[in-house]
Structure 1
Amino acid sequence: MNLTRDEARTRADLLTVHSYDITLDLTRGERVFRSTTVVSFDARQGASTFIDAVTDTVHRIELNGVTLDPAEVADGARIQLPVLAASNVLVVEADMLYMNTGEGLHRFVDPVDGEVYLYTQFEVPDSRRVFTVFEQPDLKATFRFSVTAPSYWDVISNTATPEPVTAVSDADSGAASTWSFEPTPVMSSYVTALIAGPYQSVRSELTSSDGRTIPLGVFARKSLMQYLDAENIFALTRQGFAFYEEQFGTPYPFAKYDQLFVPEFNAGAMENAGAVTFVETYVFRSRVPDATVERRAITILHELAHMWFGDLVTMRWWNDLWLNESFAEFMSTLAAAKATEFEQAWTTFAILEKGWAYRQDQLPSTHPIVATINDLEDVQVNFDGITYAKGASVLKQLVAWVGEEEFMRGVRQYFAKHSWKNTELVDLLSELEAASGRDLKAWSSLWLETAGVNTLRPEFTTDGDGTITSFAILQSAIEAFPTIRPHRLAVGFYDHDDDGALVRVHRLELDVDGERTEVPDLVGHRQPALVLLNDDDLAYAKIRLDPASLRTSVRHVRDFRDSLPRTLVLASAWDAARDGETPARDYVELVLQNVGAESDSSVVLVLLRQLASTLAFYVTPEDRDAMGAAAADSLLDLAVAAEAGSDAQLQFTRAFSTHARTAPQLDTVAALLSGERVLEGLTVDQDLRWELLTSLVVGGRAGEQEIDAELARDSTATGELAAAAARAAVPTPEAKEAAWAALVDSADLPNAAQRSMIGGFTRVHDRSLLEPFVARYFASIQDVWTTRTHEIAQQIIVGLYPSLLTTQDTLDRTDAFLAALGEDSPSLRRLVLESRDGVVRALNAQAVDR
C-alpha cells in the first residue's frame, strides 16, 4: 500500500500514460462495485513495472491481448506488469469496496429518507480504490468515466454530466441508467472525481475571461437543500473567478465548475477539477458564528485557486505539496481581502493560520516547507500547519520582499509555460526571479529548506524626555533550529488619540537580517505608548513586546482602532503563555477582560478556543476547576451583556455551556435548553440545543433518556453524530468503556461517527475517568496503525492520546512506547511525538503559573 519516491521515479522513467477508460457499475449491492479499467500507455520495451489497484476480487487482467492470472500477479494492492511492449493496453476488471472512512468511494445512507449518497476522495493515494491506476501525480493522463447507477440519481464528474441511457429495468432492482462522460483534460488521478446519488442542485453560470460560458452548480443531499444558500456561494465564486483570471493571466482551465457538499467528509474540501467537494457542515442548518461563514468563504476561494495551482499545473512529487496548498492558502486570503466583503481576511489569517503555523513549527516533528517525502506515509501526515499556513505566511513575506506586481508577473509566466504539466519548486522560483530581478536561491535556502521560527524583539533607549536615542531589532532562534533569516517587516508606533483609541502614528518598513539590526530611522522619535514589530503582519516570526508596550497592551488592547494590530498583540500574549514565559492565568484574565469588546468574529472564536486550551492545559491543576468555573461565570455575563441577536452573544453562550460545571451554572444551561431562561435575541436552534444538552451530560445532569429524546426530535445525520458524542461524554466508567470498545476494539464506525465519539469520550470534568485507558491506548495503537486506513488510524491515535492527563506518568508511558517502537514506523512515531510535546508544554506552562 505504500509507494516510495524511488519507486515512483523509476516508474515515471519507464512510462508515458495516455488515457484511462473507466467503467463503474454501482448497482451491485451495498458492499462492492464493479470497476473495469482500460489503460493505454507507452513503456520502455521489455521493462516490467506495476500498477495500483486496491481490490476485493480481481476477475480479469489482460495485457496487450494476453490474459494474466490474477492469483500470480495481483495481491490486492498492486498488479505486476511483466515484459511490456512499446505501446500497451491493459484491461483490469475487479470488484472494489465501498468505504465508510472518507477515502476512495465513500458510501453514506441518509437516516432521514434512506437514500444512498456516494462521493470520491482520492488525495493522496486513493483513486486506486476505485479504478486501476498508476497512482502518482506526475503520470498525468486523460480519464473517461462510464457509470451505471439507479436512474433517478444524479452523477457528477470532472466533465459535464451527459444525458443518461437506460441500461436495465426490473421489478427487483428498479431502473438503472448509464452516464458516459467525455474524457477529461490531461490531469493527475488524485483530482478526478465521481459523486453519485439523488443529490439536488441549484444552477447558474458565468462568463470567463476568454468569453466561454462556464456552467456552475451547487449540490447537496435532498434533506439539506432547504438550508443551502446557493446564491452566496455563486457570488463568492464569481468574485473569485474574476480575481484569479486577472491575477493569473490564464482563463479558468476547465469546462464547468460544480461545488458539492457531501456527507462524512474528512477535510474542509477537495480540489477535484471542476467538481469540488466540501464538508457538509458548510451547509448551515442552524446559526453559526460569522467566523464560520468567513471560513467557508476562504475555503471556497482556496479550492478555486487550486484549479490553476494544483490541477492545471501539478507538483511532480509530494515534496512540493506545499506549492499547491500554501499558494492556495495565500491566494484565497488575498482574494477575500481584495475582492469580497471579507476585507479583514488578513486579520483572520494572522490569528488563525499563522497561529497554526507557529504551533506546528515548534513541535519536535517540524520540518522545512519543502519537506523530505520518502513515501506515501510521509505525505499523509504532512497535511499540516507547515505545508498550509507557514508556507502561505512565507509567500506573503516573499510578496512583501519582491513586490506584489512582480510576484504576480512571475506567476502569470509560470502558468503560461507549464500549463497541463508537472513542476518542481525551481520552476516557480525561476519565473519569480525573472519577474522581480531578485536572486531567490539564498531566500529559498533560508526560508523553504530549513525549519523553525525566529523570535523578534525591540531594544531601544530613550533620553530624559522620552526621545528614542537608539533602536535595534534582535532576532533569535532556538538551538535545535538555529537559522537566522532575512525579514521584510514594518515597525508601527501606536499612541492614544483624543478619543482614547490606540492609533498608528508612525510606520517604518525595512529589511531585518542577522541577530541584530540597527534602525537609525527611528532615532529621534518620541517613545510611543506601544511599539509593534511586524506591524501589518508581513513577516513570519514570533514577536515580543518591550516592557512598556506590554503594560500598554494589557491595559488597552481593546482600544486599538484597527483589528489587525490588536490581533497581533493578542497573538504575542498567547504565544508567551504557551511558551511558559508568562503565567497562564494572566492570559485568561487578558481574554476575559477584552474579548467582550472584540468586533472581529474570527478573533473572538480563536480567543475563546485559546481560553479553553489555557484552562484545560496551562493553568495549575489545583486551580483548574475554580478558574474554569470563574471563566464560565464571566462568559455568561458577557453573553447577557452582548447585543441581542449578535454574533458575540451566540459565541459567548456556546463557550459558557462548554465551561459550565457548578450547580448554578448547569441550572442556567438547563434553563436555556428548556426555555425557562431567555436571552433576548438568542435563538436556541437545534445545533445549540445539542451543545446545551451535551454540557448537561458532561456535568452529570442528563443521560441516555434525554439523549434519546433529543435524537427523536432531530433524527438526521447531524443529530446522530451529536447523539454519539453525547453518549460518549456520559461521565461514568460504563459509558467510557462502551465508547472505547466502539472506537478501538471494533473497526465498524464510519469516520464521522468515530470523530464525534472521540470528542465526547475526551470531554470530562473528572479526568480520572480517563486514567484506566492510558495503558490500553499504548497497547492498542500499533495494531490500529497497521490495520486501519490512514484517516481512521490518525483520528484514533491523535484523538485518544491522554493529553488531558498532564503528568510525568503520561510522559513515561509515551517514552516507553516510543522506545519499543523504534524507527520502524516513522509516521506513527511522529503522531505520538507531537502529542507528547503537548504534555511537556503543559507541564512547563503549569510550572510558571504557580
Structure 2
Amino acid sequence: MPGMNLTRAEASERANLLNVDSYEVSLDLTRGERIFTSKTTVRFTATAGASTFIDAVTDSVRSINLNGVELDPAEHSDGIRIQLPNLGAQNVLVIDADALYMNTGEGLHRFVDPVDQEVYLYSQFEVADCRRMFAVFEQPDLKATFQFSVTAPRYWNVVSNAPTPEPIENGDSATWDFAATQRISCYITALIAGPYQVARDSLVSSSGRTVELGVFARASMMQYLDVENIVTITRQGFEFYEKNFGAPYPFEKYDQLFVPEFNAGAMENAGAVTFLEEYVFRSRPTGAMVERRAITILHELAHMWFGDLVTMKWWNDLWLNESFAEFMSTLAAAQNTEFTSAWTTFNTLEKNWAYRQDQLPSTHPIVAEINDLEDVEVNFDGITYAKGASVLRQLVAFVGQEEFMAGVREYFAKHAWSNTELPDLLRELEAASGRDLSGWGAAWLETAGVNTLKAEMATDDDGVITSFAIRQSAISEYPTLRQHRLAVGFYSLDDAGVLKRVHREELDIDGELTEVPALTGQARPDLVLLNDDDLTYAKIRLDEVSLATATEHLKDFEDSLPRTLVWSAAWDSVRDAEAPASTYVQLLLNNIGHEVDSTVIMVLLRQLNTSLDLYVAAEHSEELSVQAAASLWKLAVEAEAGSDAQLQFVKAFAHRSRTAEQLDQVQSLFDGSVALDGLTVDTDLRWSFTIALSAGGRMSEATLDSVLANDDTANGKASWYTARASRPTAEAKEEAFAAATSATLSNDQQSAVISGFNNVHHNELISGYTEKYFGLLINAWESFSHEMAKQIVLGFYPSSNVSQITLEQTDAFLESLGSKHAAMRRLLVESRADVVRALAARQADA
C-alpha cells in the first residue's frame, strides 16, 4: 500500500522528539464483519512546539484531540498517518477511529470457522502492523505501557499481554478491562479473541512466583491439541532459560495460542504467543513436524527475554533478535528435551537454508543496512535466522559456552526493559570471555558470503599422515577469509562395518592455509570430516578417498550429525554444479531408507524434488522421475510398518507419481483396495492422495467436492483449493491464476491455490503465464498487502521454466522497473538466481 513505509531517519527523528509514557486502547469488536471501533489515548512528552506524526491505518477517523484541541481529521489524517502539530512538553492525544479487519494474516485478522461459523480474531503486528489496530508511534524504541479495554460477545475468550480480567457483562456483549502491561515495544502487544477453548496449567518460576500457563485453539481444533507435550516442552524451556539467563520469566503469565491462517511459524507477543495452526495435528504428524513445533515453542519462549525484555533499538538488529532465539532454541532442545539430535536438524534444515540464501545475489552481511520498513520485510530471511544462528554457534565455540552465558546474564541484568544495539551485547561477551571480538565481529557480521574448506594431506607408503592442512577459499565477490573455530574428525570402519570417529582435533584456523601439525604421524582414516560437530559456518568438500568412503558407507555412520554433514556436502556440490544431479538422486534413493532422523528424511525428499524438477538435465528428467517414484514406492513397502519413514515415503511417492500404473497405485491407497501394514489413511493423508490424483487427471470436480464434504473444515478447504488448482487442464490453471491474483481469497487460500497451480507433471501447462505474470506485478505490489503481494511475486514466478528466455524476460521487467519497489526487485532477483543455478546444474548433469 503506498505511503505505508517508514524510514529509519523518520523513526530516529521522532525518537529524538518524544518519549511515550502510556497507551489506553479501547476496542469494540461487536460492529460487524468489516470494521471495529478503535479509540486510543496516548500520553507522551515531547519537545515543545515541535511537530510529528502518529501511525494509524484506518477506515475512517471520527476525531483527533491533542491537548484539548480538536484537529480536523480531513486535514490531519490520510488513512495511514495522523499529523500532530505544535506539541506541548506534556501531551495527551485521543484518537477515535474505525479500523478494518484483515484476512491477510496482518493486523487484526478475522477468520470464520466453517465448522461452527464462529468468528476467531488474532493480531499479528511484526513488523509494523499494530497501527492497523490502534494509533501508535510504530517503532521498537518508543516503549510504553499498554492498557487494552475490549468489548466483544460475552461468550468469547479474550487474551492479551496482561492476564485476562473478569469481564463486565452488558446484554449479549461484555467488556474486558486489562491491566497495563510492563514497558514494552508496540510490535509485541497482542489481542486474540473469539470462542477459543483453553487448557490451563501452571509452573513455579525460579523467583518462586507461580506462572499461569494457557494453551488455546479453536473449538473445532481443540480435540487434536496434545496439551501435555506442549506444556512439557514449555516447562523444559522455562527451566533452561531461567538457569542460563540468570533472570526469572519477566511477564505475569504465559499463554500459547494456535491460530488459523497464520503467515509465519509463530510470533513472540509478550506473554501471549501465537502459533501456526498446522502445529495442531489433525492427523498423524511426522516426527519432523513434532520436533519443529518443539523448536518453535522454545524459540518464542527465548524471545520473552531476548526481544521482549530487552529489545533492539531499530530493525537493523532484527538478525540478533531472531538468531539468538534460533540458536538458544536448538541448544535448549539438545540439552534439556527429548530432541537430543537437534543439532542434526539444525544442520539439515537451517544451515541449508542459510547456505542457499548466502549464495544469492541479494546476500547481505548479517548486520544488514535497514533503511526502512520495506528493507525489514524482505530481511526475514536465511541470513537473519539461519546464518545468524550458525554464526552465534561459532561464537559460542570461539568464547566458550559458559563464558557466553555469563555475558548474556550480565546483558539482561543491565538492559532489562530497555532498547539496545549489537555493541551492548558484544561488550558483555568480551568482558566475560577475555576475547577481543572486534575483528571477529567485522569478519563474521559485517561481510557476506560463505567460505569453503578443504583438507590437504600427504601420507607415506604405510598410510601415515606426513602433512595436513586446511585450505579456506571464498568467491571473488565476497573474498573475506575468516577465523574459524572448528573440529576435524577422523572416521574409520570397525570390524562390524560401522563408521566410527577414531580421533577429533579442535583448533582455530585463519587465512588461506592453516597447517595442522597435531594430525601428522596419525594413520590416515577412511574418512576425514572437516567441521566435525558442525561448529562453524562453512561449506566443506571431501577429499577423494573420503568421498569414496562416504558414497559406499553413508548409511554406516554411527551418529547422525556426521552423516548429515556429508549429506550437506554432497548437496552443496550439486547446487554448485560440481557434481551431477542424477548421481545425487541415485545416492539419495540408495541411502535414504537407512535414515532414522525424520527431519533429515523430510529435507532429503525436498532435495529429491528440487533435483528432479530443476537440476537434472531435461533429456532424462522424465525417465529419472518415473524411476524415482518407483523407488519411493519400494521404500514405502519395505519401511517398518507404521514408521515415520513409511509415512513420508508414501506421501513422496504420491506426489511424484506420473505413470498410469503409479497413479493406479495411489488410487488403490485412496480407495482402500490396497493397504500397507501400519499405514492409516487419515484425513491429511487422504488429501495428499487427492491432490496427487487431481494433478494426474484422476479427479473430477464432483469427486473433489465429495472429498471436501467429508472434511468441510478450514484445513480441508485449503486442500480442496490446492486439489482444484492441480487439475491438469488449461481451464483449471486459468481459474487458479485469476483467483490468486484477485482480492477474493484469504492469505491461506491464496497460498493453497498457488501451490496447486504449480503442481504440474508437464511444465508446458503453465509456461504460457509468464507474460501475464509480469504484466500484473506492479499493480499487485501496489494494491495488495505485503504478505499477499509477496505470495504472488514468488508463487507465480516461472521458476520451473529453466531457460535463458526466463532470464531475459526477468531482466526486461527489472529494467523497466527502474529504482521503484526495491523489495519486489529483490524477490525477483533471488528467483532469477535460482534459474541461473538450475541452468548450470543441468549443464553439469548433461
TM-score (norm 2): 0.99
> 1:52 is matched with which residue: 49, 52, 55?
55
CA distance in 2, matches of 1:87, 1:498: 80
Paired AA for residue 792 in structure 1: M
564, 567, 572: which one pairs with 2:564? 567
Query: Pairwise mapping of residues 237-386 of structure 1 onto structure 2 (< 5 A)?
Result: 237-386=234-383
1:848 counterpart residue number = 844
Give 1:35's aligned residue: 38
C-alpha separation in 1, matches of 2:296 and 2:844: 38
Q: Distance in 2 between the 1:231 and 1:771 partners?
A: 48
| 1:748 matches 2:744 | yes
Residue by residue over 1:41-72, the C-alpha shift from the partner in whole angstroms, topping out at 9 and shown as x without a partner, is 00000000000000000001000000000011
Residues 802-844 of structure 1: per-residue CA shift (max 9 Å, x gap): 0000011111100000111122221111000000000000000
Q: Secondary structure at the match of 1:536?
A: helix
The reply to whether residue 85 of structure 1 matches residue 88 of structure 2 is: yes
Match of 2:775 in 1: 779
Determine if the alignment matches structure 1 residue 640 to structure 2 residue 637.
yes
> Following the alignment from structure 2 to structure 1, what is the Cα–Cα distance between the partners of residues 833 and 143?
40
Which residue, out of 493, 498, 502, partners 1:501?
498
For residues 348 and 736 of structure 2, the distance between their equivalents in structure 1, rounded to whole angstroms, comes to 34
2:435 equivalent to 1:444: no
Does 1:673 pair with 2:676?
A: no
Distance in 2 of aligned mates of 1:564 and 1:752: 35
- Describe the superposition over 1:162-206 as per-residue Cα deviations: whole angstroms up to 9, x where unpaired: 000013x2xxxxx00000000000000000000000000000000
Moved more, 358-367 or 763-772: 763-772
In structure 2, the partner of 1:689 is: 686
Q: Distance in 2 between matches of 1:228 and 1:292?
A: 14
In the alignment, which residue of structure 2 is the partner of 1:23?
Answer: 26
The Cα shift of 1:458 comes to 0.5
Deviation at 1:750, TM superposition (A): 0.2
Shift of 1:706: 1.5
Question: Is residue 768 of structure 2 the alignment partner of residue 765 of structure 1?
Answer: no
Q: d(CA) in 2 for partners of 1:523 and 1:432? A: 35
Using the TM superposition, give the Cα deviation of residue 782 of structure 1 relative to its aligned residue in structure 2, in angstroms. 1.3
Structure 2 letter corresponding to 1:166: E
Match of 2:833 in 1: 837
Alpha-carbon distance between aligned partners in 2 of 1:442 and 1:818, rounded to the nearest angstrom: 37
Q: Corresponding residue for 2:785?
A: 789
- Alignment correspondent of 1:587: 584
Aligned residue identity for 1:113? D
369-378 or 697-706: bigger deviation: 697-706
Q: Secondary structure at the match of 2:531?
A: strand
In 2, Cα distance between the equivalents of 1:84 and 1:784?
A: 38
- The partner residue of 2:148 within 145, 149, 154 is 145
Q: Work out which of the residue numbers 415, 424, 445 in structure 1 matches 2:421.
A: 424
Distance, in Å, in 2 between the alignment partners of 1:498 and 1:160 is: 62
Secondary structure of residue in 2 paired with 1:409? helix
**Aligned-pair CA distance for 1:703:** 2.4
Q: Does 1:96 align with 2:79?
A: no
Task: State the Cα RMSD in Å.
Answer: 0.5
Confirm or deny that 1:114 pairs with 2:117: yes
SS in 2 for 1:223: coil
Match status 1:181 vs 2:175: no
* Residue number in structure 2 paired with 1:5: 8
* Cα drift, residue 493 of structure 1: 0.4
Work out the CA distance in 1 between the residues paired with 2:781 and 2:379. 16
Aligned match of 1:223: 220
Letter matched to residue 245 of structure 1? E
2:799 matches 1:799 = no
SS of residue paired to 2:309: coil
Say whether 1:553 aligns with 2:550. yes
Deviates more, 1:763-772 or 1:529-538: 763-772
Describe the SS at the equivalent of 2:354: helix
1:814 aligns with 2:817: no
Q: 1:732 aligns with which of 729, 733, 746?
A: 729
Give me the whole-angstrom Cα distance separating, in 2, the residues matched to 1:748 and 1:480: 44
Structure 2 residue 432 is the aligned partner of structure 1 residue 435: yes
CA distances 1:415-449 after superposition (whole Å, capped 9, x unpaired): 00000000000000000000001111111000001
Match of 1:612 among 609, 624, 632: 609
Amino acid in the other structure paired with 1:28: R
Structure 2 gaps, min length 5 = none
**Partner residue, 2:69:** 66
Deviations 1:248-279 (A, max 9, x none): 00000000000000000000000000000000
**Residue in structure 1 matched with residue 626 of structure 2 by the alignment:** 629
Partner Cα distance (1:827, 1:512) in 2 = 37
1:828 aligns with 2:820: no
Aligned partner of 2:162 in structure 1 is: 159
Report the AA paired with residue 839 of structure 1: V
1:623, CA displacement in angstroms?
A: 1.1
State how far apart, in whole Å, the 1-side matches of 2:539 and 2:795 are. Answer: 28
Tell me how far 1:296 sits from its aligned partner.
Answer: 0.2
Match of 1:467 in 2: 464
Take 1:739 and 1:701, find their aligned partners in 2: how far apart are those partners? 18
1:399 corresponds to:
396
Separation in 2, partners of 1:326, 1:733? 44
Q: Distance in 2 between matches of 1:822 and 1:449?
A: 28
Letter in 1 for 2:629: A
SS in 1 for 2:200: strand
Task: Tell me the SS of whatever aligns to 1:222.
Answer: coil
State the distance in 2 between where 1:606 and 1:703 align.
32
- Aligned partner of residue 765 in structure 1, secondary structure: coil
The one-letter code sitting in structure 1 at the alignment partner of 2:789 is A
For 2:823 and 2:324, how far apart are their aligned partners in 1?
25
Deviation of residue 702 (structure 1)? 1.4
Amino acid at match of 2:803: T
Shift of 1:609: 0.7
Query: 2 CA distance for matches of 1:732 and 1:676?
Result: 28
Match of 1:232 in 2: 229
Q: How many percent of aligned residue pairs carry the same amino acid? A: 66
Distance across 2 between alignment mates of 1:186 and 1:698: 53
Q: Using the alignment, how far apart are the partners of 1:144 and 1:748 within structure 2?
A: 35
In the alignment, the residues of structure 1 paired with residue 278 and residue 537 of structure 2 have an alpha-carbon distance, to the nearest angstrom, of 31
User: Shift of residue 718 of structure 1?
Assistant: 0.5
State the secondary structure of the residue aligned to 1:803.
Answer: coil
Q: CA deviation at 1:582?
A: 0.2
What residue identity is the alignment partner of 2:62?
Answer: H
